[in-house]
Amino acid sequence: AGENPALTRNNKGEVWVQQRARPRRNRKSATMRGMVRENIVTPSNFIYPLFIHDEDFNQKIESMPGCERHSLDSMLKEVGESYDLGVKTFVLFPKIPDELKTNMGVEAYNPEGIIPRAVRMIKEAYPDSLVCTDVALDPYSDQGHDGIVVDGKIINDETINQLCKQVVCQARAGADIVAPSDMMDGRVKAIRDALDSEGFTNVSILAYTAKYASAYYGPFRDALDSHPGFGDKKTYQQDPANGREALIEAALDAAEGADMLMVKPGMPYLDVVRRLKDNSPLPIAAYHVSGEYAMIKAACERGWLDEKAVVMETLTCFKRAGADIILTYYAKQAAQWIKDDGLY
């Protein structure tokens, strides 16, 4: 083949680069690509976060197009539609009226509060679903913090005492999984003991293990009206600059009895997902958070990204990084796309 010494000719006289390893062979058709694919996203990997409030209407969330604060009836409808698409695990986040918010967050363990009622409704209608509840005081706090505030500080051990009352209340309502998102030290152990001593040895703990002090939670705080009342959450949530620190949290949570470990946010923290996966045999979850959802939505609304393609790629990348479980506001939509396209 002319002057280029890399190009020779085969027996048929065709140009031939003498290259034996050709990775493109494993990509030559959709069937071949399907056969060798390493990671597949299915609806059973998803946990679908739902915002709820004690009103008889739904409230749109401006910064999260396509998401709403649901009335309990609408929540149950959303659960049913998702369930039929194979999404069977839900995590509930309540918007609490200001008049019920206190520094101690006592509404968090009101047995007739919105969360216990919502859990009972879902478990009654869909006994085989998994209902997961968030454990932290922020939706219930008049200070807008995850724990009790004294002299401008978020106090660890007193907060844990409140969280234990919260989880027992959630477990009594029928929660299958409790997910402490507060980042207090020692809370997983205390929560495990509180559950076990009330007979709830079968309730699982999905620990927010590596939860970062992230700017990506903005739209979520809009949804719940739970922006910090003062300051920020940097004395309890992790510094985004730190990766190794997640291993300390992972070791503690595992030793204290967590059943699953979570990394949050998701996309900018895939290295942390991988580190936890390589360092723990527990299932790993990643939270594709509100700000990540909002970014994709905003770009797609402008026609700058192809929503279905970019979302399915994103979710697949979570799995490639090591996530077994993905919390995403796209859960129902992605399950619909997976079904429509006959992916599985």
Chain residues in the site for ligand PBG (CB under 6 A)? 134, 136, 138, 146, 181, 217, 220-221, 233, 289-290
The one catalytic residue among 95, 264, 277, 297: 264
Judge contact between 134 and 181, C-beta under 8 A.
Answer: yes
Shortest Å distance, C-beta 128 to ligand PBG: 25
Shortest Å distance, C-beta 145 to ligand PBG: 9
Judge contact between 231 and 152, C-beta under 8 A.
Answer: yes
For ligand PBG, give the closer residue by CB, 93 or 337.
93
The one catalytic residue among 101, 211, 297, 319: 211
Alpha-helical regions (H) of 225-281: 245-256, 270-279
Crossing angle of the two packed helices 156-173 and 187-197, in degrees rounded to 10: 40
Judge contact between 284 and 277, C-beta under 8 A.
Answer: yes
Residue type, 33: R
Shortest Å distance, C-beta 182 to ligand PBG: 6
Judge contact between 131 and 176, C-beta under 8 A.
Answer: yes
For ligand PBG, give the closer residue by CB, 23 or 267.
267
Distance, CA of 189 to chain centre: 21
Kind of pairing between the strands at 59-60 and 68-70:
antiparallel
For ligand PBG, give the closer residue by CB, 218 or 339.
218
Shortest Å distance, C-beta 318 to ligand PBG: 14
Judge contact between 90 and 78, C-beta under 8 A.
Answer: no
For ligand PBG, give the closer residue by CB, 136 or 169.
136
Q: Quick one: which of 122, 8, 133, 2 has its CA closest to 73? A: 122
Shortest Å distance, C-beta 59 to ligand PBG: 17
**185 SS3 class:** coil
Active site residue 211: yes
Active site residue 12: no
Distance, CA of 179 to chain centre: 10
Catalytic residue numbers, as ranges: 211, 264
